[in-house]
Amino acid sequence: MAGYLTVALTRSRGCLTYGAMLESVVRAHYNHTMKTAVIPQIRVEPELRADLDAALLPGETLTEFVESSVRRAVEFRRVQRDFAARCDASLAAYERTGISIPSDVVLSKLEAKVAARVKQLRK
């Protein structure tokens, strides 16, 4: 893996480009012993395909773009599912105990977290 990272760092005259970084990560992720699966091909309108080609970064392939998009979509769905499960558990706990936290308390805690993060980022 270190070899791939070195290649990515030395491309483009020492600058780490997004395409090179993505390529090194993909290569490091897949090795010769890993079995892979194929995502089915889909048909799209010519306009969408043209927009997709225009969105590709220099040196980025359509395959890399599709794989990274699918990975992000899968992660987003996982986060949504986990959030819904926490909501269901919270509602069940409220229905079981009748105890809840007032919204103004929740909002003030969230605002404090945001303020602390902003302060940390400004340092």
Tens-digit pLDDT profile for residues 62-92? 999 999 999 999 999 999 999 999 999 999 9
Please give the pLDDT value at position 88.
97
Please give the pLDDT value at position 79.
98
Amino acid at 34: M
The shares of helix, strand and coil residues in the chain, as percent rounded to the nearest 5, are 70, 0, 30
* Residue ranges for the chain with pLDDT beneath 70: 1-34
> With a threshold of 0.85, does the pTM exceed it?
no
Amino acid at 94: Y
Please give the pLDDT value at position 23.
64
Please give the pLDDT value at position 36.
85
Please give the pLDDT value at position 6.
39
> What is the SS3 assignment for 24-66?
HHHHHHCCCCCCCCCCCCCCCCHHHHHHHHHHCCCCCCHHHHH
Other Cβ atoms within 10 Å of 22 Cβ, number: 19
Return the domain boundaries, the chain: 1-35, 37-122
